Amino acid sequence: MAALSAGRYARPVGNAVYYERHRPERTLLYQIIEEYYPAFPDLMSAQCRTLPAYVQREFEDYLRCGRLEHGLTYRMY
């Protein structure tokens, strides 16, 4: 069994390879962003600064990516 990042494993099942879904909530980067990002825009506004909309959108999309409760979404830019 070959270990891949964030808890994914490639396991042969007959001639096919079984895929276990990516679990982003287990990664350190995801946990850090999930914990600290919600307060970051408030901190920026307290300093009379704002994050560009595309940066906010990227953080929010990253936090939704791979999470089943958000369903399958695809954003076309």
| pLDDT score, position 24 | 80
| pLDDT score, position 59 | 92
Q: Taking the CA atoms of 33, 36, 42 and 44 in sequence, report the sign of the dihedral they define.
A: negative
- The series of mean pLDDT values per 10 residues for the chain, 77 residues long, is 51 68 84 94 94 93 76 57
Radius of gyration for the chain, computed over Cα atoms and rounded to the nearest angstrom: 17
Q: How far is CA 9 from CA 30, 48, 65, 74, in A?
A: 19, 46, 19, 25
Q: For the whole model, what pTM was predicted?
A: 0.60
| pLDDT score, position 58 | 92
| pLDDT score, position 2 | 47
| pLDDT score, position 71 | 64
> Among candidates 17, 51, 55, which has minimal Cα distance to 8?
17
